[in-house]
């Protein structure tokens, strides 16, 4: 089995891993450029051949245009070359020119000599083209005539027969043309055939070439011999199983060993942080030496020094950086400055991250400001060099939307219809297209249309869509993975430049690089880090106050008061409807409470019903119970409820005495149902040996078993809780700057218009767009100093929010401030006419005097003058003000419409203000008044949809959660599956909603509405205008969405059972369908969960 891909080395590693289970040898290869003659290169001679292949593929991708290599550049001793039907030699044979084929063969023989092969392929085609019997016979004949060894292959494109139509779609998508039945299509024979089928092909080919039938044996023997020469051993040749770190001198070790340099840095960190002077300093020293011993045992010192070097460089660049994941549980990481929180203080365990028993490479992820992530990449490359650094590739595979688009285009369907169908689907696998049509209520109309069509234009459409599932459609740079290696990196992976920045990108994905023993550092660009950095910078710019977020006061009363109010929109990790509900019930008062809150709001803890017992015990409504008094210490902080992975490790260690490293291995085994039985026996035996009675052992095991792998890594939660607290502190103490950061970097799950509404409710003045005052990003401005009160800071809208403005235009407009007149702005800022018109629409040019319609007229005159080459002077109304043209100004409704269209925000007022009278007529309860509603009360609520999600929940049912903004606050909605037939289509495909539902209260600040009926408010407004309130009342009396076409699939009963035993609804945790026609640009957002 030889794995070859166009201009790529990708695919070899995964195949190597899988073949270990099947005992199938793997040959690595690549062929280049589909439009040019195609040649296949296979690596032979082990590591040397693999390195040559990597070099060759990398060289191809450095070409600026069509990738071709000169003869002088494509020679490599470690490669075998196959000249097949697509080569220049094969094309000459197909054209009936054996003389030309022989002539073209000469330079190949001169360069590659005995490493050259002629490849015969038969796909059952007629004629003399590629895949035909006659061309395969001519190839074998030329090989015999010229003394070149022939080989037989099937030029495999797909694993199984019957996938030729899918291959045609892929070809059409690649060429950007529809399938043309008059031209040669895929033969349907390019599948992975068995030995018997290939022998039959060999016999037919040699007979057609005029040779005796037993010549087929020699052809097959030559093929097998070539395959044996091209065997690449994954361990010896690819370096699998070994780890390749950057050389120690590059990470500050100097002439010392990496381990000694690491120990020296750790000791320096102890002194710098003052841990050596604490009363409990012995605990810190012992923990440090314990961790250093584990690191030395595995030889991972260079790894820690490498990550520390990267973090140091990032910090010196003034970029916010923090570690996340289990690595935050290492004291050594903390001492090196990689992790922020003190793991000893927070009870974090090194063994959750790394232990003697855990032999895999540890994984440290670092968060940096998203806006500066590429700067970090450049710094890493600058530090270690392109011979040691590459980004990780991320294969882009077909999901339903891309599959619909490519199949539709290949079948010549109407582009508008393709777009409509694609946008109707939520973000699901392509293989689930037909199941979704049957089971999802929001696809009811499309499903009915498809059923009515019968065998028409949707005939084989869905079959082809599902056939594309998970097939690669492209390759892109992974959003965070960076490889760091020694100088042998380019001999083990081919690289290609990324689009845009041109970073070197390895052609292997994240799983491949781990198998290859390459150090992968995840550098995650976190928008909240950028938002907080912008907020801090704005406070310093406008007020001259320096803020060190890493040193903000712990336990700040105002911060926790704001968190407990559940008004946490925009705060990291605690802004989603579910999290706001949880903080309202939990009422956090300490940093530890935040850690627990973040840990509880995960699918596992929710599914295992950990939340309710914790809340009940925390508020004293249930007694705190421990399985045994020995377990009080690890469980005390969570009221006897197991929440963290670290608690399971401690429980197993305490009761069996096995050590934390072995206990972590046991914990990881709990996720495998097959392993649980063995672990149960082992646990019972060792716990009994340590003196625990059978009842205690059984009771504890039930807790462990129920926990499974559901809990959360406490170290990860602590790492997340730090920016959670920091963002909440900023919102409590510097709200204007906080919202400026959020609006500039858009970090959360809500649209900007909702953040603007939240700022308005919290008393932050919203200052309009102004070309003389607005910057590229959002700014804060002093509105009133006030002698007796704190100064009031307002939020100035940004030029970058204007639809269609380029970065260069925004920067040019900001750099030229202030402008004395409209003419001055036109001449120096040089906006395009459409952009200038949009600026006038939203009031950004109001400072120049005339009303907005007058300004549009003057801009038209300026544009005409510029096109005619005249330097027109506008009429002025005294001073530098632009004279009035006498046109009526925009109405209030027109201004609001312009803001929504140009800024995607209702900047001057809330859009729901226009509907207050109608909503009062209907008896709608506002979000503000809803706080006074009783549990179980039936209400009507309305608003602009801000978010929609379908996260997995404990019951395994599919629940649609949505959030409405009505200008007075937020209304959180939940639609359970018994309401989906009536509501789902409306909820997903409408923006303004009216919902009837029942109030649900689960705590002092926990409030939501369980929806039972939903209407498109825009439709009701039209009914009100045409038929009056009586018509609206009649519409509300109907059962919305009911009808014979309602979906009646088994999605309501079907469940997916996870390896942990957790059952999930098949359509839970989906990103919902795209924007419908009634939804404005960026006016609402959909996600499967919090975007923290």
Which is nearest to 844 in space by CA: 908, 892, 799?
799
Q: What is the pLDDT of residue 708?
A: 63
| CA 281 – CA 845 distance, rounded (Å) | 64
Residue 49's contacts (CB-CB under 8 Å, 6 or more residues apart) are 42, 43, 76, 78, 79, 80, 230, 232, 237
Along the chain (1092 residues), what's the average pLDDT of each consecutive run of 10 residues?
A: 65 41 42 68 89 89 63 72 96 96 95 95 93 97 97 94 93 91 88 96 96 94 94 81 88 93 97 94 96 96 96 97 93 96 96 90 91 96 96 93 96 94 92 91 88 75 94 91 92 90 90 81 95 98 96 96 96 93 95 96 74 92 94 95 93 96 92 87 96 96 78 92 97 98 89 94 96 97 80 96 95 96 94 96 93 93 77 49 80 94 93 94 96 94 93 77 94 92 90 96 88 95 94 86 41 53 61 48 41 34
| CA 81 – CA 386 distance, rounded (Å) | 29
In three-state secondary structure terms, 387 is: coil
- Strand 495-497 to 519-526 pairing: unpaired
Q: What is the pLDDT of residue 93?
A: 97
1009: left (phi over 0), alpha (psi -120 to 50) or beta: beta
| CA 7 – CA 82 distance, rounded (Å) | 15
DSSP string, 571-584: STTS-SHHHHHHHH
| CA 224 – CA 216 distance, rounded (Å) | 12
- C-beta atoms surrounding 744 within 10 Å: 24
| CA 385 – CA 623 distance, rounded (Å) | 59
HSE of 367 in the Cβ direction (CA atoms, 13 Å)? 22
> In the numeric block, which tokens belong to residue 714?
């406490």
Q: What is the pLDDT of residue 1061?
A: 52
Residue 632's contacts (CB-CB under 8 Å, 6 or more residues apart) are 626
| CA 543 – CA 535 distance, rounded (Å) | 12
| CA 950 – CA 572 distance, rounded (Å) | 20
| CA 51 – CA 41 distance, rounded (Å) | 12
Which is nearest to 766 in space by CA: 795, 723, 801?
795
| CA 599 – CA 605 distance, rounded (Å) | 8
Query: What is the enclosing helix (H) or strand (E) of 720?
Result: helix 714-733
In three-state secondary structure terms, 1016 is: strand
| CA 324 – CA 526 distance, rounded (Å) | 11
Q: What is the pLDDT of residue 1022?
A: 95
Q: Which long-range contacts (CB under 8 A, 24 or more apart) does 913-921 make?
A: 913/967, 915/942, 915/992, 915/1017, 915/1021, 918/1020, 918/1021, 918/1024, 919/966, 921/1029
Q: Is the dihedral of CA 613, 615, 619, 624 positive or negative?
A: positive
Q: What is the pLDDT of residue 455?
A: 62
Phi, psi (degrees; rounded to nearest 5) at 860: -65, -40
C-alpha separations of 638 from 608, 610, 632, 634, 794 in Å: 15, 10, 10, 8, 41
Alpha helices (runs of H) in 481-526, residue ranges in sequence order: 510-515
| CA 670 – CA 645 distance, rounded (Å) | 11
For residues 322 and 726, the answer to whether their CB atoms sit within 8 Å is no
| CA 408 – CA 417 distance, rounded (Å) | 9
The b/e string for 855-869 (b: 16+ C-beta within 10 A; e otherwise) is bbebbeebbebeeee
Q: Give the distance from CA 891 to its chain's centroid.
A: 42
| CA 1051 – CA 447 distance, rounded (Å) | 14
| CA 1 – CA 478 distance, rounded (Å) | 28
| CA 858 – CA 262 distance, rounded (Å) | 68
Burial class (CB in 10 A: 0-12, 13-18, 19+), 228: exposed
Q: What is the pLDDT of residue 459?
A: 73
The b/e string for 967-976 (b: 16+ C-beta within 10 A; e otherwise) is bbbbbbbbbb
- Strand 792-796 to 766-767 pairing: parallel
| CA 419 – CA 1023 distance, rounded (Å) | 29
Which is nearest to 430 in space by CA: 394, 411, 456, 403?
403
1071: left (phi over 0), alpha (psi -120 to 50) or beta: beta
Q: What is the pLDDT of residue 235?
A: 81
Q: What is the pLDDT of residue 879?
A: 44
Query: What is the enclosing helix (H) or strand (E) of 739?
Result: helix 735-745
- Domains of the chain by start residue, with CATH: 2-156+192-229 (3.20.20.140), 248-395+476-528 (no CATH), 396-475 (1.10.10.1600), 751-902 (no CATH), 914-1086 (2.40.50.140)
- C-beta atoms surrounding 174 within 10 Å: 13
C-alpha separations of 633 from 597, 636, 707 in Å: 20, 5, 18
What residues does 1033 pair with on adjacent strands? none
- C-beta atoms surrounding 290 within 10 Å: 14
> In the numeric block, which tokens belong to residue 930?
């809803």
In three-state secondary structure terms, 171 is: helix
């Amino acid at each position: 089995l030889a794995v070859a891909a166009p201009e790529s080395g990708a695919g070899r590693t995964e195949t190597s891993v899988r073949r270990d289970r099947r005992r199938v040898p793997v040959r690595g290869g690549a062929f280049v450029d589909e439009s040019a003659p195609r040649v296949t290169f296979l690596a032979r001679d082990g590591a040397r051949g693999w390195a040559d292949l990597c070099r060759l593929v990398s060289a191809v991708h450095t070409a600026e245009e069509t990738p071709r290599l000169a003869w002088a550049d494509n020679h490599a001793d470690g490669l075998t070359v196959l000249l097949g039907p697509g080569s220049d030699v094969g094309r000459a044979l197909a054209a009936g020119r054996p003389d030309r084929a022989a002539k073209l063969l000469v330079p190949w023989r001169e360069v590659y000599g005995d490493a050259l092969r002629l490849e015969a392929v038969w796909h059952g085609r007629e004629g003399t083209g590629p895949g035909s019997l006659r061309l395969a016979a001519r190839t074998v004949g030329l090989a015999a005539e010229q003394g070149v060894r022939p080989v037989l292959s099937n030029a495999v494109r797909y694993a199984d027969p019957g996938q030729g139509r899918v291959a045609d779609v892929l070809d059409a998508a690649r060429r950007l043309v529809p399938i043309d039945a008059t031209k040669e299509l895929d033969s349907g024979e390019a599948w992975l055939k068995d030995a018997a089928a290939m022998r039959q092909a060999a016999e037919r080919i040699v007979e057609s070439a005029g040779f005796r039938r037993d010549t087929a044996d020699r052809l097959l023997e030559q093929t097998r011999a070539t395959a044996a020469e091209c065997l690449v051993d994954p361990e010896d040749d690819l370096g699998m199983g070994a780890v390749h770190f950057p050389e120690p001198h590059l990470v500050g070790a100097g002439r010392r060993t990496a381990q000694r340099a690491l120990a020296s840095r750790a000791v320096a960190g102890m002194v710098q942080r003052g841990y050596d002077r604490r009363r409990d300093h012995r605990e810190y020293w012992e923990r440090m030496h314990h961790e250093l011993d584990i690191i030395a045992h595995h030889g991972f010192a260079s790894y820690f020094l490498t990550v520390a070097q990267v973090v140091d460089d990032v910090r010196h660049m003034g970029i916010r950086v923090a570690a996340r994941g289990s690595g935050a549980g290492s004291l050594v990481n903390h001492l090196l400055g990689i992790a922020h929180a003190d793991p000893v203080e927070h009870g974090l365990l090194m063994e959750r991250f790394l232990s003697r028993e855990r032999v895999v490479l540890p994984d440290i992820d670092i968060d940096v400001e998203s806006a500066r992530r590429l700067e970090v990449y450049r710094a890493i490359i600058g530090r270690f060099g392109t011979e040691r650094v590459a980004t990780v590739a991320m294969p882009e595979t077909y999901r339903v939307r891309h599959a619909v688009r490519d199949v539709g285009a290949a079948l010549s369907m109407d582009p508008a219809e393709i777009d409509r169908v694609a946008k109707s689907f939520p973000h699901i696998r392509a293989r689930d297209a037909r199941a979704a049509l049957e089971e999802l209520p929001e696809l009811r109309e499309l499903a009915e249309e498809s059923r009515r069509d019968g065998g028409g234009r949707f005939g084989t459409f869905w079959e082809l869509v599902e056939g594309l599932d998970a097939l690669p459609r492209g390759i892109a740079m992974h959003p965070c993975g960076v490889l760091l290696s020694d100088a042998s990196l380019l001999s083990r992976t081919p690289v290609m430049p990324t689009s845009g920045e041109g970073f070197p990108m390895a052609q292997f994905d994240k799983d491949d690089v781990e198998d290859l023993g390459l150090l992968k550092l995840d550098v995650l660009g976190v928008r909240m880090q950028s938002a907080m950095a912008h907020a801090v910078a704005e406070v310093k710019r406008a007020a001259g106050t320096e803020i060190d977020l890493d040193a903000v006061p712990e336990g700040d009363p105002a911060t926790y008061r704001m968190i407990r109010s559940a008004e946490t929109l925009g705060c990291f990790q605690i802004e989603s409807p579910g999290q706001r509900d949880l903080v309202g019930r939990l009422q956090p008062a300490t940093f530890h409470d935040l850690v627990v809150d973040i840990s509880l709001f995960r699918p596992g803890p929710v599914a295992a019903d950990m939340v309710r017992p914790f809340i009940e015990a925390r508020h004293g409504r249930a007694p705190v119970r421990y399985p045994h008094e020995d377990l009080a210490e690890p469980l005390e902080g969570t009221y006897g409820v197991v929440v963290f992975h670290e608690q399971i490790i401690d429980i197993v260690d305490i009761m069996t005495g096995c050590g934390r490293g072995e206990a972590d291995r046991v914990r990881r085994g709990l996720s495998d149902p097959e392993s649980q039985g063995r672990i149960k026996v082992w646990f019972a035996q060792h716990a009994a040996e340590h003196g625990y009675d059978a009842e205690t052992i059984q009771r504890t095991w039930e807790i462990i078993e129920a926990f499974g792998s559901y809990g959360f890594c406490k170290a990860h939660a602590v790492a997340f809780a730090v920016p959670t607290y920091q963002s909440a502190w900023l919102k409590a103490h510097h709200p204007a700057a906080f919202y400026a950061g959020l609006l500039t970097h858009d970090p959360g799950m809500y649209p900007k218009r909702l953040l603007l509404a939240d700022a308005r409710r919290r008393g932050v003045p919203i200052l309009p767009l102004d070309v003389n005052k607005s910057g590229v990003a959002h700014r804060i401005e002093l509105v009133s100093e006030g002698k007796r009160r704190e100064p009031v800071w307002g939020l100035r809208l940004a030029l970058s929010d204007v639809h269609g403005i380029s970065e260069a235009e925004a920067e040019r407009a900001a750099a030229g401030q202030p402008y004395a007149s409209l003419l001055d702005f036109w001449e120096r800022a040089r906006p395009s006419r459409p952009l200038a018109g949009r600026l006038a629409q939203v009031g950004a040019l109001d400072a120049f005097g005339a009303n907005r319609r007058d300004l549009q007229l003057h801009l038209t005159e300026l544009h005409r003058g510029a096109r005619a080459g005249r330097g027109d002077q506008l009429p002025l109304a005294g001073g530098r003000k632009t004279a009035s043209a006498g046109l009526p100004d925009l109405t209030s409704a027109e201004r609001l419409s312009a803001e929504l269209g140009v800024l995607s925000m209702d900047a001057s007022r809330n859009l729901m203000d226009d509907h207050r009278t109608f909503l009062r007529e209907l008896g709608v309860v506002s979000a503000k008044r809803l706080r006074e509603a009783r549990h179980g009360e039936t209400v009507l609520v309305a608003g602009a949809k801000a978010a929609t999600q379908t996260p997995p929940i404990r019951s395994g049912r599919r629940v649609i959660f949505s959030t409405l903004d009505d200008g007075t606050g937020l209304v959180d909605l939940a639609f359970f599956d018994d309401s989906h037939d009536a509501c789902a289509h409306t909820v997903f495909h409408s923006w303004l909603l009216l919902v009837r539902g029942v109030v649900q209260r689960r705590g002092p600040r926990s409030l939501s509405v369980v929806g039972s009926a939903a209407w498109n408010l825009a439709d009701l407004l039209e009914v009100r205008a045409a038929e009056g309130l009586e018509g609206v009342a009649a519409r509300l009396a109907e059962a919305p969405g009911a009808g014979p076409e309602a979906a009646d699939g088994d999605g309501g009963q079907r469940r997916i059972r996870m390896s942990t035993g957790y059952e999930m609804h098949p359509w839970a945790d989906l990103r919902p369908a795209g924007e419908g026609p009634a939804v404005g640009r960026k006016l609402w957002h959909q996600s499967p969960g919090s975007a923290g």
